[in-house]
Amino acid sequence: MSNPRDRLEREQVYQPAEDSQLLATTVSDEIGPTDRVLEVGTGSGYVAGQIVGKTGATVVATDINPHACRSAAAHPIEVVRTDLADAIKSQFDVVVCNPPYLPTDPDDELDDWMEYALSGGPDGRALVDPLLEELPRLLTDDGRAYLLVSTLTGIDAITERATAFDLQIETIAEEPVPFETLTVLKITLKH
Ligand SMILES: C[S@@+](CC[C@H](N)C(=O)[O-])C[C@H]1O[C@@H](n2cnc3c(N)ncnc32)[C@H](O)[C@@H]1O
């Protein structure tokens, strides 16, 4: 049984759910043992841990939440506490992200770490848009990114934004759940 301190820590970290599982399963089929992988917003480290376990790839993971960073460090990955990927200066074959994507009214925003995990701002794309902008810097020439989003996030708007940054985008997995369809987008650089 966990002690109260561990429980408090766990309550401040997004625990793996259907979205985490869909992303982990989908990307594990797309990654090989020599790939260098960056996971942005790793939370508990579940997705990163699954990637290492299933593919043997090397994974670096970021999160802005210090509790998440501590939790993720239990996996055989390198964890960096940073906003998005600001402290990451190298390039990766694969970038993976299950961002906070729920559209949230500013009046309903809570000031806690779970809000960071869930709220994507008024349009749901507060983290998605800056990540798209960062992908050309983070990806190797033939690199690819996998982004878990939802019909609530506005997939047409993401596609339009990606095109503006010279990125190609395709849907490679979908899973209907109550109130939304979870979607994995594969994003590559246009050549
Ligand atoms: C929906 S959770 C996903 C967690 C985990 N990847 C999973 O699939 O179970 C989103 C994660 O992104 C992190 N996050 C939110 N804003 C961030 C930012 N600006 N920079 C880095 N991580 C961020 C949150 O702390 C949270 O751990």
Higher pLDDT, 40 or 10: 40
Q: Partners of 119 in the beta sheet?
A: 102
Beta strands in the chain (DSSP E): 36-40, 58-63, 78-81, 92-97, 139-150, 167-177, 180-189
How many structural domains is the chain composed of?
Answer: 1
Cα–Cα distance measured from residue 147 to residue 131, given in angstroms and rounded to the nearest whole number: 10
For residues 170-179, average pLDDT:
97
Report whether pLDDT(103) > 80.
Answer: yes
Nearest CA to ligand 1 atom 2: 117
Q: Which two tokens stand for residue 54?
A: 């299933």
**Which helix H or strand E contains 53, and what residues bound it?**
helix 46-55
Nearest CA to ligand 1 atom 4: 43
Q: Report the pLDDT value the prediction gives residue 7, as an integer from 0 to 100.
A: 79
What does pTM read for this prediction?
A: 0.96
Question: What number does the ligand 1 atom closest to the CA of 97 have?
Answer: 6
Report whether pLDDT(5) > 80.
Answer: no
**Which helix H or strand E contains 35, and what residues bound it?**
none
Strand order, beta sheet including 167-177: 78-81, 58-63, 36-40, 92-97, 139-150, 180-189, 167-177
Q: What is the CA radius of gyration of the chain?
A: 16
Nearest CA to ligand 1 atom 16: 116
Domain range for residue 151? 4-189
Question: What number does the ligand 1 atom closest to the CA of 43 have?
Answer: 27
Cα–Cα distance measured from residue 81 to residue 140, given in angstroms and rounded to the nearest whole number: 22
Report whether pLDDT(51) > 90.
Answer: yes
Mutate to test the pocket of ligand 1, among 22, 44, 63 (most ligand atoms within 8 A of CB): 63
CA dihedral 62, 181, 124, 21 (to 10 degrees): -10
Report whether pLDDT(2) > 80.
Answer: no
Cα–Cα distance measured from residue 108 to residue 88, given in angstroms and rounded to the nearest whole number: 32
Report the pocket of ligand 1 as residue ranges, CB < 6 Å.
14, 16, 19-20, 23, 41-44, 46-47, 62-65, 68, 83-84, 98-100, 116-117, 127
**Percentage, residues of the chain above pLDDT 90:** 84
Mutate to test the pocket of ligand 1, among 22, 44, 98 (most ligand atoms within 8 A of CB): 98
CATH number, domain of 165, equals 3.40.50.150
Q: How confident is the model at residue 108 (pLDDT cuts 50, 70, 90)?
A: confident
Q: Report the pLDDT value the prediction gives residue 15, as an integer from 0 to 100.
A: 96
Task: Please give the backbone phi and psi of residue 99, each rounded to the nearest 5 degrees, phi first.
Answer: -80, 165
SS3 3: coil
Q: Return the residue matching tokens 């995990």.
A: 117
CA atoms 51, 23, 138, 72: torsion sign: negative
